Structure formats: C-alpha cells, structure tokens
Amino acid sequence: MIHYPRGWILRNLTSSEGLLRVNLKYSDNSQEYLPFVDLIPSPCAQDSSASEGERIECFLAGDSRSSEVTSLTAMHTLWLREHNRLARALKSMNRHWSPETVYQEARKIVGALHQIITVRDYIPKIIGPDAFNQYIGLYRGYDPTINPTVSNIFSTAAFRFGHATIQPIVKRLNAQYLDDPELPNLHLHEVFFSPWRLIKEGGLDPLLRGLLAHSAKRQVQDQLLNEELTEKLFVLSDNGSLDLASLNLQRGRDHGLPGYNDWREFCGLPKLETETDLNTVINNQQVTEKIMELYHNPNNIDVWLGGLVEDFLPGARTGPLFACIIGKQMKALRDGDRFWWENDNVFTEAQKHELRKHSLSRVICENTGISEVPVDAFQLGKFPEDFNHCDNIPGMNLECGKW
C-alpha cells in the first residue's frame, strides 16, 4: 500500500529517521500528503478553474491506484503518516539506530497493523463468524507447506465483491459530523483521479468523517453496482467512461477462471443445475430468471456474478461461495507467512500485547485532526452516542513494547 518492492523510490533518503517521502509543496494542516509522481504531466484530472501552473499531479504510493478515487487516496495517506509517526517515535527511543533500521522496523509494525486490522476487525464482518471459524479459525503457527500467494479467483472475482458496496455519493463532514456547506456532496465520478480535491477542498479529515459516519452501499441482488461505476467510471480521463461490471466479467474470462458451478464444487457446495436450484441460493425470482435468460444454464454463469448475487450468510456481507474463497485466501496468507505478526520470534510477547491494542480508529486519531471516532471504524454508528473521544481509544505504547 505505502511500501514498494523498490523501496528507495518512496523513501526519504535524506532523513536519519527512516521516513517515507512526503509532498514538499502541500500539507494538510501541518500533516503530510503523499508525494507527487515523478513523471509529469500525470494523467490525473485538474481543477477546471486552476491555471496550468497550479497543476496537481497524481500521488505516488506503493500501489499505482492510490489516486484512483479520493477514499483510496485517504487510506494511502493515512498509512504514510502512520509509518512516519512510528519511525520518528522509534528513532527518538533508539538514537543509535541507523535510518535503515528505523525504516524497516516501522515498516514491520505497519505490516503487522495491516494484518491485525484486516483479519481481526474487517474480514469477520465480510464473511460472517461461522465462515470465519470454518475457513480461518485460530492461529496455530507458521506452516511451511502452505502457499501464501494470492489466488487468481480471490483477486479477480471474490474480493471484488466490494464494488457492490461503493456509494454513488462522496460525503465530506465537519467536526460535528454534519454536512459542510463549504464542502458539498460529490458524485463518485467527480473524484476519480482527482487528487486536487483532497488538497484544495478540505484535506483528509472531512473525507474520513464521511466514511466513518455513513454506511457502505447496501448490496441488493437486483441493483449491485451503482451507475457511477457502470456508466461513468473514470469519465474524467481522456479515454471516456467505462463499465466496472463489464470489466469484472471480462477480467474473469481473460484470466481463465472456471465458471460459478466449478468454484461451488471446489468449496464443497452443491452444484446448481436448474433455475429451481438457483432459487435455493438467490432469494429473488426475478434475478434468477434474468440470469437464466442470459446464461441458459447455471454452468455458464461467470463466477464474479454468481458469487455476488448469492444470499448473504448470517452476519456476513457475502454468500457462501465468496465467504469460502475469501476465508481460504486469508488463512493461506496468515498460515503460510513466516513473518506473520503472531508467529514466534517475529515480535516479542510484550510487543504483540501492544500491537493488539491498536485499531484503524486509533490510526485515524494519531494521524488526523479528528477527535471523535467510533471504537470500531468498520461498524456504523450514530454521532455522538456511538463515538468516543480519541483520548478513550486504545492504542499501542512503543515504550511498553520495548522496541
């Protein structure tokens, strides 16, 4: 996300503190922004009222998609700040450490926090508690026989379930979590490849408040992706707009993914042979009729579509097929990684104790001007009753962990 295989590209090599590069032209109320890409002019959209000399280029991060939409940019920026916060703290505690040692230790902690927040806080809400226990379960230690690489089916289909959760409106809220008349709501297509909106329209805090206080789009079987994604995707680019649903279907075919029924069989789920069978997993007669009209036979169904329209498991945001694929992938990523944060000799017991205290809400508290957040950033709540002041949000103590 913020680190890169060729790490020197994103490093501040002039610093003794092991920092990542930051933007030297703009800041966010003294907080850091991502640096701009080195190759300019970049393809990012510009403020129509700005002069050519006021160009704001795409941001540079460990993932080339960091400027794709402002919410992605916000998360990349948040973790850039967290790395640099940790690096400065580690250096102040260990004056004898080299910049390389500081950088690698901060990177290691950030990696552990990603693992904790993803598997402990996010994934159980996506696949549900039963599927989590079935496919992931408790950590038993590193298993060298497990391949931890990311599977084609996971990256091409299952984990793209999230496209159906994207809201068509981007909200930016003030400190009371209310609409800000100076920062009106935006349609999603207005923030594609538009980093200038972050820099010139309020910075990170209003955008993060909007994400914290408003739900993801409700996934309904007869309206999966909003029209901002199917009619106006990347409309601000020079190449015209795209259709994300069509891209996902074609991507699965390009990648050679077997069909929906093959993957159900892979997961030990019953194959569906008829429309009546489809009705047992899709509780919407009109949707099953439409699918059969298009595909004629369940064996022909594209796996991304089939997995997406299944009825949710209890306490989940996915059906049984995607819960299986996501769960299996997460277990492989965890158990096949000898550097997994819980594995022996990766961190000390004292350090692991501190890491467990941290959360996405704490990361937001540490790296923004936001003072009140939900205890669980992934759980929708009402402001102010379901929000806590940052003073009451737990977080790790590096000194207690004896880093």
Instruction: Check whether 358 is labelled as a binding-site residue.
Output: no
pLDDT above 80: residue 159 = yes
Residue owning tokens 């819960």: 323
Mean pLDDT of the chain: 95
Q: Report pLDDT for 41.
A: 85
pLDDT above 80: residue 245 = yes
Q: Report pLDDT for 243.
A: 93
* Rounded percentage of the chain residues whose pLDDT exceeds 90: 87
pLDDT above 70: residue 102 = yes
pLDDT above 90: residue 207 = yes
pLDDT above 90: residue 54 = no
Is residue 90 very low, low, confident or very high in pLDDT (cuts 50, 70, 90)?
very high
Query: pLDDT, tens digit, for every residue of 112-122?
Result: 999 999 999 99
Centre a 10 Å sphere on the Cβ of residue 278 and count the other Cβ atoms it contains. Answer: 24
pLDDT above 90: residue 14 = no
Is residue 2 very low, low, confident or very high in pLDDT (cuts 50, 70, 90)?
low
Is residue 4 very low, low, confident or very high in pLDDT (cuts 50, 70, 90)?
low
pTM above 0.85, yes or no: yes
Q: Report pLDDT for 7.
A: 65
- Contacts for 266 with CB less than 8 Å, ≥ 6 apart: none
Query: pLDDT, tens digit, for every residue of 278-337?
Result: 999 999 999 999 999 999 999 999 999 999 999 999 999 999 999 999 999 999 999 999
Query: Strand 169-170 to strand 186-187: parallel, antiparallel, or no bridges (unpaired)?
Result: antiparallel
Q: Rounded distance, CA 199 to CA 223, Å?
A: 33
Query: pLDDT, tens digit, for every residue of 321-336?
Result: 999 999 999 999 999 9
Higher-confidence residue: 279 or 4?
279
pLDDT above 70: residue 5 = no
Centre a 10 Å sphere on the Cβ of residue 147 and count the other Cβ atoms it contains. Answer: 8
**Domains of the chain, first to last:** 7-142+349-392 (1.10.640.10), 143-164+218-346 (no CATH)
Centre a 10 Å sphere on the Cβ of residue 79 and count the other Cβ atoms it contains. Answer: 22
Query: pLDDT, tens digit, for every residue of 125-141?
Result: 999 999 999 999 999 99
H-type helices in 240-319, by residue range? 244-254, 260-266, 275-279, 285-295, 303-309
pLDDT above 90: residue 222 = no
* Average pLDDT for 232-246: 82
Query: pLDDT, tens digit, for every residue of 34-43?
Result: 999 988 888 8
pLDDT above 80: residue 240 = no
* Rounded percentage of the chain residues whose pLDDT exceeds 70: 98
Higher-confidence residue: 52 or 191?
191
Q: Is the peptide bond before 320 cis (omega within 30 degrees of 0)?
A: no
CB 362 within 8 A of CB 173: no
**Start-to-end Cα distance in the chain:** 24
Among 8, 166, 2, smallest CA distance to 80 is for: 2
Among 309, 315, 224, 216, smallest CA distance to 260 is for: 309
How big is the chain by its Cα radius of gyration, in Å? 22
